[in-house]
Amino acid sequence: MAYGWGRTFIRYRNFEVTSDHHRIFIKKGLFHQTEFSIPKEKVEAIILNTKFLQKILGIVEVRIVSTAEEDDEEMKTANILFPFIHKNKALLLISEILPTFKVETDMVNLPRSAIFVKLVRTSYIWIAAGAIFYFWPRLWYVPLAFLVLTHTSQLLSGLSNGYKIRGPFIQLQSGSFSTKLFITTRMKIEELKVTESVLQRKFGLASLEIFTRSKSVQVSKISDIPKDVAISCYQWYGKNGGNKGSCIE
């Protein structure tokens, strides 16, 4: 904990974000100060990451997916727009710094059938837990804790995951104890993929994957959304015209 606190303090001390009409300027560092400049037109998407403790405190980490990323370690951290910031303040500043992106707060939750599918998908855990209990009965608390943790994670995933499409914007929220909110526009999507498993097909569900450009391809996925919504996303993406790589499986 001390190492993590010290490393974070040294890296993000004197952190400052400014912008003009064309570029974002980021300055950070205690002993070794670094400065970055990212063209706004190269920002492909915005990601809001929230870990479990941060979720309790209402804090998020804001990242940007940019085609201006480089390979060295310092430049990899340039895509962190805000390392720690209150969620409400983050939404306000994002609209000021990147007015071409819009974050919606009223998202559509997954259907209740998605929670059942997520629990069924992890039913193999019961077999592993039963084997541990049979061969090592003294360790009964290990499979019990594992089952509680796994099913709680799937339940939170079904309750917290969601999606939203409004105009040219799309955003997906996935995760359980930690969540990831992905926001991009139709013109920034390189590829969109809709898939469905046998189990999803029985409940009218599907998975949606969005690929955006960066130094390495950024993939964002949400599972177990209604199939008709996934098809609507596919058709919505097709309105962009001339996109390549879209598919339905």
Amino acid identity of 229?
V
Q: Please state whether beta strands 247-248 and 189-195 pair in parallel, antiparallel, or not at all (unpaired).
A: parallel
Q: What pLDDT is recorded for position 99? A: 86
Q: Which two tokens stand for residue 10?
A: 């040294």
Percent of the chain with pLDDT over 70: 91
Residues 6+ apart with CB under 8 A from 176: 152, 153, 154, 156, 157, 160
Question: pLDDT tens digit string along 197-240?
Answer: 999 999 999 999 999 877 667 889 999 999 999 999 999 998 75
Please give the average per-residue pLDDT across 181-210, as a whole number. Answer: 93
Please give the average per-residue pLDDT across 175-186, as a whole number. Answer: 92
If you search the block for the tokens 């390979």, which residue do you land on? 71
Q: Please state whether beta strands 179-185 and 43-50 pair in parallel, antiparallel, or not at all (unpaired).
A: antiparallel
At 53, the pLDDT band (50, 70, 90 cuts) reads confident
C-alpha–C-alpha distance, residues 30 and 14, integer Å: 7
Number of C-alpha atoms within 13 angstroms, CB side, residue 110? 30
Residues 6+ apart with CB under 8 A from 225: 110, 114, 163, 205, 206, 207, 208
Q: 247 or 105, which is more confident?
A: 105
Q: Is the pLDDT of residue 9 over 50?
A: yes
pTM metric for this prediction: 0.83
At 248, the pLDDT band (50, 70, 90 cuts) reads very low
Q: Are 61 and 82 in contact (CB under 8 A)?
A: yes
Average pLDDT, the chain: 84
Alpha-helical (H) ranges within 59-140 are: 73-76, 87-97, 112-121, 124-135
C-alpha–C-alpha distance, residues 33 and 72, integer Å: 15
Please give the average per-residue pLDDT across 64-85, as a whole number. Answer: 68
3-state secondary structure of 47: strand
Domains of the chain, CATH where assigned: 1-103 (2.30.29), 104-249 (2.30.29)
